Amino acid sequence: MPPRARLARERARDAVTAEILDVARAQLAEVGPGGLSLRAVAREMGMAPSALFRYLPHKDALLTRLIIAGYDSLGEAAEAAEAAVHDAGPAERWMAICHATRDWALANPQEYALIYGSPVPGYAAPQDTVGPATRIPRLLMALLGDALAAGLPVPAPGADAERMHAAIAPLRATMPPEVPDSMVVRGLIGWTHLFGAVSFEVFGHRTFDVLDDPAAFFDHEMRLLGGLLGLIPA
Amino acid sequence: MPPRARLARERARDAVTAEILDVARAQLAEVGPGGLSLRAVAREMGMAPSALFRYLPHKDALLTRLIIAGYDSLGEAAEAAEAAVHDAGPAERWMAICHATRDWALANPQEYALIYGSPVPGYAAPQDTVGPATRIPRLLMALLGDALAAGLPVPAPGADAERMHAAIAPLRATMPPEVPDSMVVRGLIGWTHLFGAVSFEVFGHRTFDVLDDPAAFFDHEMRLLGGLLGLIPA
DNA sequence: CCATCGCCGAGAACACTGTTCGCAGTTCAG
DNA sequence: CTGAACTGCGAACAGTGTTCTCGGCGATGG
């Protein structure tokens, strides 16, 4: 199997695969996950529906690729925003990540719903999505590590220190051991709240406790939480 | 139209409607939202699929009723848990609400996904869901109000006080004016974080930043946030 | 250069979905 | 008792994901 010759076929195949993904993502933005239809994708591409199955084993595979693409797109946006203020101190970096995440989610609500909403019926996230999914948390952990090295005061551990130590063990294993437990916990809390705030807004649950200026509230909220994390001096 | 006679028909109708709801909720617990099928409900009831439409204008109506039922079930659980410790002080009340919410969500993950997950394709939540949906936030606001009356220290407003005042205006209108802005904000933040933490866990996003003891972490997390809200003395 | 093998697309088919319509039968109201 | 409203059924339509079979075209081995 000479690699030179094989390329023609494979390139064509990759091109079609890429087009499927593109069309699917465009359709996702319109009708949302769940509304996504393989037949509609095939229709728009001028193909028979059955032909799609030469490139995808089943619909879930397409969803997986879209999910990974979504994670990557969001991760890239957050990383770029963080990099742009990387020298401006932890508080700015924290806020940059928060705002980038919110902006991306509001600009791509359906993609956000696909990756952070309730899982679709029979779908189970395969291992491939783990890497891209952790880009933002990793960004936050790096931020906390830097701040720590720069002399960020470490909050005193609570009474349940040893129990916490055990609870976060798996996450600990992925991080340098000199990061104190309380910092790991703070990072998780920050990430959790960022997700909660953005999801509330994107999924429309903020229309009940109505806000006149969601952007201002978000800024205020995340700044306050940055204080709790110790990233922003009170 | 004598109300005595009409009752027979209406009672039968209500009974069928209730059975539809029951069967649908049972099926929801198995296959989740999106996987819910009217035909399957009819099958289990021994009815023709078309007969269901005598009781429901369309599938969305069934979803709406299930959503309302879900909100009410969750709200009741939280209210009951709060009532049980109502005299034990704000910190216990806060934690009771948090744990009740998490417990209910873990026990009914599909119902939780239905009400707090990404909205289904074409579905738009009607006004009927507003009341039940706000039971937990209202509980939190009442808690904050009580704590305030009992002498809870009010956090100092930040530099963006007047902007915040405008941002939360609609929510303000539903509350007694003596509650300070900073308290309203704290309440929203607490509610947001509770939602974020529970959703993270129920939707499986905590399997990435793996935790060995999610229950312990949740307890720690919400207690810490209770401190930020001023409900728990540091 | 030619035969061959593998891939690719098309079309039909199956099982499933939500929803509509027309037709019966039952049950109630006047 | 008669007429009208309500109820359920069966068939049908348009849509979905998926499978299978078939024909053709391109790249490959002799």
Higher pLDDT, A230 or A20: A20
The pLDDT-based confidence of A207 (bands split at 50, 70, 90) is low
Token pair listed for B101: 């919410």
Q: Which among B114, B130, B147 has a CA at the least distance from the CA of B25?
A: B114
> Could you tell me which chain A residue has the CA closest to the CA of B193?
A193
Sign, CA torsion A212/A215/A216/A222: positive
CA–CA separation, A155 and A48 (whole Å):
61
| Nucleic strand C under 7 Å from the C-beta of A54 | yes
- Cβ pair B58, B73 in contact under 8 A: no
- Cβ pair B75, B135 in contact under 8 A: yes
Q: Which of A66, A162, A219, A220 would you mutate first to test chain B, the one with the most B CBs within 10 A?
A: A220
CA–CA separation, A170 and A106 (whole Å):
32
Token pair listed for B30: 């198995």
Whether B5 shows a pLDDT value over 50: the answer reads no
pLDDT in tens, A161-193: 889 999 998 888 888 888 889 888 999 999 999
Q: How far is B42 from chain A (nearest CA, A)?
A: 20
The pLDDT-based confidence of B12 (bands split at 50, 70, 90) is confident
Q: B117 by DSSP, 3-state: which?
A: coil
CA–CA separation, A57 and A148 (whole Å):
47
**Cα end-to-end span (Å), chain B:** 65
Mean pLDDT rounded to a whole number for chain B: 89
pLDDT in tens, A22-68: 999 999 999 999 899 999 999 999 999 999 999 999 999 999 999 99
Interface check for B175 against chain A (CB to CB < 8 A): the answer is no
Answer left, alpha or beta for residue B151, where phi above 0 means left and psi between -120 and 50 means alpha: left
Range of weakest confidence among A42-51, A215-224, B184-193, B199-208: B199-208
Whether A215 shows a pLDDT value over 70: the answer reads yes
Query: Are residues B121 and A32, on separate chains, in Cβ contact within 8 Å?
Result: yes
Torsion angles phi and psi, residue A101, rounded to 5: -65, -45
What's the confidence (pLDDT) of residue B2? Answer: 40
Strand D positions with any atom < 7 Å from protein CB? 6-12, 15-21, 26-29
pLDDT in tens, A121-172: 566 666 788 888 889 999 999 999 899 888 888 877 777 888 999 999 888 8
Query: Are residues A210 and B122, on separate chains, in Cβ contact within 8 Å?
Result: no
Whether B217 shows a pLDDT value over 50: the answer reads yes
- Taken as a whole, chain A contains a residue count of 234
Higher pLDDT, A72 or B133: A72
Sign, CA torsion A113/A117/A122/A128: positive
The per-residue DSSP string of B157-200 comes to P-TTHHHHHHHTHHHHHTS-TTS-HHHHHHHHHHHHHHHHHHHH
Partner residue facing A164 (CB), from B116, B158, B216 = B216
Q: A195 to chain B: which residues are within 8 Å by CB?
A: 196, 199-200, 205
CA B64, B65, B66: angle at the middle one, nearest 5?
90
Whether B3 shows a pLDDT value over 50: the answer reads no
